[in-house]
Amino acid sequence: MPSLARIGVPVFALAIIAIGVETIACAHYVAPRQGLQAIPVIPWLPEITALGWIFGVVWAACGVGLFLRRTQRVAALTLAFLLFLFALILDVPRNASKPADIGLRTLVFEPVAIAALACLLPGRTAIPKMLERTSRWLLALALVVFGIDHFLALQFIASLIPAWIPFRVFWVAFFGAAFIASGLSIGLDVLLRWGAAGIGLMFAIWVFTLHLPRVLGVYGIPGAPGNPNEWSSLFIAIALWGGPWALVRTTAEN
């Protein structure tokens, strides 16, 4: 577990830098046929080119700041505050009209989960206790929601798993249960390191078996290699891989 935890912060930081670069690259992106109403990069900013450029630079700068001890706390809390803010003022109102829509619900909880991980990254002693507890609860809520959604959309999610993997419905249910168990572990602060390590490992597996092959065109999915949404999904998965492992590290240090 210690060896896994050491790479958590670098992986998380690289994902945030990648999100920043993609935000800049997609700042002018418009795809009416896909029904997109926002720049297709977390946190789903409005289609305003200048806004995409500005916050793309901010995300990349925060990612760079996470690498350095002296700037890590400021970078992490800045990233967390902005992602929480955008989720609250942009994503929640945009998706509130369809609370039962799993896809829209995911668009709300993805930035919340990454923001919570960023907030927890400096360590328990580096942030106020109430902020630490609230971040854990929000992260736990996001993970539990992701887990429940796996059970609500078993067949659809199973269809996204590569054909060479057997028992696809079983794995969707298994990972749904893993989401819920990890969320409860983190939220209740019971076996937190194991819960964080497990959820990070799950996303690491998904990065290499699902998301990376899709964007590289390995599975032959039409349009996937050049689709900004596929790249966003890859970078989000990497962030949700590195963030929990960083949580393992900071929990051990404190």
Q: Give the chain's radius of gyration (CA, Å).
A: 17
pLDDT for 142 beyond 50: yes
pLDDT, mean over the chain: 89
How far is 212 from 233, CA to CA, in rounded Å?
A: 9
Number of structural domains, the chain? 1
How far is 112 from 101, CA to CA, in rounded Å?
A: 17
How far is 129 from 80, CA to CA, in rounded Å?
A: 16
- Of the listed ranges 139-143, 220-224, 236-240, 241-245, the least confidently predicted one is 220-224
Give per-residue pLDDT as tens, 168-203.
Answer: 999 999 999 999 999 999 999 999 999 999 999 999
DSSP string, the chain: -HHHHHTHHHHHHHHHHHHHHHHHHTTT---GGGT--B-SSTTT-BS-HHHHHHHHHHHHHHHHHHHSHHHHHHHHHHHHHHHHHHIIIIIHHHHTT-TT-HHHHHHHHHHHHHHHHHHHTT-GGGS-HHHHHHHHHHHHHHHHHHHHHHHHTHHHHHHHS-TTSS-HHHHHHHHHHHHHHHHHHHHHTSSHHHHHHHHHHHHHHHIIIIIHHHHTTTT--TTTTT-HHHHHHHHHHHHHHHHHHHHHHHHHH-
- Within 10 A of 201 (CB to CB), how many other CB atoms are there? 15
Cβ neighbourhood burial of 35 (10 Å; 0-12, 13-18, 19+): exposed
Q: State percent of the chain over pLDDT 70.
A: 92
How far is 59 from 244, CA to CA, in rounded Å?
A: 19
Q: Residue 189 corresponds to which tokens in the numbers above?
A: 């602060």
118: domain range? 2-253
pTM of the model: 0.92
Mean pLDDT of 25-38: 64
Cβ neighbourhood burial of 16 (10 Å; 0-12, 13-18, 19+): buried
Residue 45: which of 62, 34, 58, 63 has the closest Cα? Answer: 58
Mean pLDDT of 97-104: 79
